């Protein structure tokens, strides 16, 4: 995903900086500009696949940028940000080729959903369908942790390690994680406590718990907290691989369902506006 460029157009500096941080955390290569005119100069040079633009900006509005971009590169995915009261204009931009619009103040979950849809479209255009999940492995036994990381990387998965729950939560806050693989018993924060903290931050990931003898009750509790499944130690590597593959499949289905639901919602809004004008 790091190769996918996102250009942010926002004249408010604090809002622009916030968007840069959030979108970088999702794993994108982020560019930014304070108005549409500068944004078009960056677009011509860098050719980003996705643009996230405010509607109202000095020198060149988001709608004007959209029209110019679609003339030059019609496959570019465009997400519009609108203030309260601009919904009619935002819906009109959908008819001009925008992929989606987001109301201000920005809901970060809605932004992530829109970016996911845009990235899916980019991959479809480029015929890129492989998904390389980011896995966070929390295990306080260093030898066991490094061994599992080495094995999982052989599957072409991107794997990061944490030696306790506290370190895992800190890493999760700063990076996009798709699958959280964790031991139950760890210092500072155990696996269940770490999972609970992560669920407060995001629901867009799957968790698999690793348990020692006698930890089954805690593992079941973790599943009530949102873990997908658990494995008993010593870890059967074949079973672990199967569970991760199932987690990847579940993530793909869940995200795709959200994307399709949003597409239907936007289509209904366009149809409603067309009917109102008759």
Task: Give the least confident one: 63-77, 87-101, 165-179.
Answer: 87-101
Distance (Å) of CA 192 to CA 50, 168, 217, 243, 245: 37, 12, 11, 18, 22
Name the domain count of the chain: 2
If asked whether residues 95 and 143 sit together in one domain, one would say: no
What is each CA distance from 90 to 8, 9, 41, 200, in whole angstroms? 17, 16, 24, 31
Q: Name the average pLDDT for the chain.
A: 90
User: Given this model, what pLDDT does residue 6 score?
Assistant: 97
Averaged pLDDT, 166-194: 93
Residue 176 pLDDT: 93
CATH number at residue 139: 3.40.50.2300
Distance CA 33, CA 44 (A): 13
pLDDT band at 125 (very low <50, low <70, confident <90, very high): confident
pLDDT tier at 217 (50, 70, 90 boundaries)? Answer: confident
Residue 77, token pair as written in the block: 């995915």
Per-residue confidence (pLDDT) for residue 41, from 0 to 100: 95
Q: What are phi and psi of 161, to 5 degrees?
A: -115, 150
Whose CA is closest to 100, among 123, 122, 124, 77?
A: 77
Burial of 19 per CB tally in 10 Å (0-12, 13-18, 19+): buried
**102 in the same domain as 17:** yes
Domain of residue 55 covers 5-129
Residue 165 has pLDDT above 80, yes or no: yes
**Residue 265: pLDDT above 60?**
yes
Task: Give 142-155 pLDDT, tens digit per residue.
Answer: 999 999 999 999 98
Report the SS3 class of residue 102: strand
Q: Which pLDDT score, from 0 to 100, does residue 200 have?
A: 93
Domain boundary residue among 99, 129, 159? Answer: 129
| Dist. CA 60–CA 66, nearest whole Å | 10
- Clarify whether residues 122 and 50 are in a common domain: yes
Residue percentage of the chain with pLDDT more than 70: 95
Last residue of a domain, one of 106, 129, 152: 129
**Contact present, 253 and 230 (Cβ < 8 Å):** no
pLDDT of residue 3: 76
Q: Cα–Cα distance between 159 and 264 in angstroms, integer?
A: 35
Answer whether residue 250 shows pLDDT above 90. Answer: yes
272 is a domain residue: no
Confidence band (pLDDT; 50, 70, 90) for 249? very high
């Amino acid at each position: 995903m790091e190769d996918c460029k996102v250009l942010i157009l926002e004249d408010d500096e604090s809002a622009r900086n916030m968007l840069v941080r959030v979108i970088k955390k999702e794993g994108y290569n982020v560019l930014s500009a304070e108005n549409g005119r500068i944004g078009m100069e960056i677009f011509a040079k860098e050719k980003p696949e996705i643009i996230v633009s405010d509607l109202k900006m000095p020198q060149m509005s988001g709608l004007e940028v959209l029209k110019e971009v679609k003339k030059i590169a019609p496959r570019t995915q465009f997400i519009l940000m609108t203030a309260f009261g601009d919904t009619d204009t935002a819906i009109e931009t959908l008819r001009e080729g925008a992929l989606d619009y987001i109301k201000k103040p920005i809901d970060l979950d809605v932004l992530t959903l829109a970016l996911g849809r845009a990235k899916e479209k980019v991959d479809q255009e480029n015929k890129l369908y492989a998904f390389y999940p980011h896995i966070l492995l929390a295990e306080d036994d260093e030898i066991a942790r490094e061994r599992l990381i080495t094995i999982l990387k052989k599957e072409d998965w991107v794997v990061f390690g944490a030696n306790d729950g506290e370190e895992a939560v800190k890493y999760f806050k700063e990076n996009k994680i798709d699958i959280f693989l964790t031991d139950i018993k760890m210092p500072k924060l155990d696996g269940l406590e770490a999972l609970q903290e992560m669920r407060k931050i995001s629901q867009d990931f799957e968790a698999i718990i690793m348990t020692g003898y006698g930890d089954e009750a805690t593992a079941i509790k973790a599943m009530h907290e949102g873990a997908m499944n658990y494995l008993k130690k010593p870890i059967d590597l074949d079973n672990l691989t199967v569970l991760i593959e199932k987690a990847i499949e579940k993530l793909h289905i869940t995200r795709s369902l959200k994307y399709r639901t949003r597409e239907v919602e936007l289509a209904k809004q366009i149809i409603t506006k067309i009917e109102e004008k008759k």
